[in-house]
Amino acid sequence: MVYYPCYKNLDAYIDVDRLVALDGFMTDRLSQRVAKAADRAFYTGPFLLDAQAPTLPGSQMVYLSRSREPDNYYDLDQTNLWEPTPDAAEFAPLMAIIATLPFAATGRMIIMYDGSGRAVSAHRDHDSAELCHEFIWFRTNLRKPFYMLDPETGERCTVGSHAAWFDTVNQFHGADASGGLSFSIRVDGVFSDEFRRNIPFPPTGRAAAPAIWAQADAAVATS
Ligand SMILES: [Fe+2]
């Protein structure tokens, strides 16, 4: 039995102080991009909690890497396809932090941002229960009200950490409006063997791995 909503707090695996120290830089650069309004719109995908909610909620993306193949969501962890974009150079200090994350190789790397902090419709990223994307979601400040939602009960939990990995299939995730610039970063790839050794991958239903890991932590904390 896996309990939702939940997320795996990854702050122990990331240099949070270094991340927080980058907040001014990120805020400055992203504010400039808001003014230019030239980045691609963020698309939630088709798996919305509320079918009437917008799939293009208004946020935008900076692609720090780009696939050599036509756009395909299922390529995001095909690390051989992705190469850095010119924007990666603009965000060089962020790329330096990404280089310290526990990946053997990286694939898609994006910054998701919204100058006016609009809500992001609750959605699942895909519906393949056996497909577990290895990614780290992280941020330099805690202003984006990002949450997980259990479809069975409607219960929500707000992410309180700087870095997280979460089940994107068996629960929904989204953001409430913040009223000001909000942003987060997501790096997909292949975790390092050392990092993987921490993860209780299940024999089936692999997409639940981050939830099972989060639950194992909760069990230790309460025992
Ligand atoms: Fe998503």
* pLDDT of the residue at 223: 62
**Mean pLDDT by groups of 10 residues along the chain of 223 residues:** 95 98 98 90 88 88 96 91 97 98 98 94 94 98 96 94 98 95 97 97 97 87 66
CA 169 to ligand 1 centroid distance, Å: 9
What is the phi/psi pair of residue 34, to 5°?
A: -60, -45
* pLDDT of the residue at 217: 82
* pLDDT of the residue at 61: 95
Contact 10, 163 (CB under 8 A): yes
Model pTM score: 0.95
CA 95 to ligand 1 centroid distance, Å: 21
CA 123 to ligand 1 centroid distance, Å: 6
3-state secondary structure of 31: helix
CA 43 to ligand 1 centroid distance, Å: 9
CA 124 to ligand 1 centroid distance, Å: 6
Query: Topology of domain 8-222, per CATH?
Result: Jelly Rolls (2.60.120)
CA 102 to ligand 1 centroid distance, Å: 21
Contact 158, 147 (CB under 8 A): yes
CA 11 to ligand 1 centroid distance, Å: 20
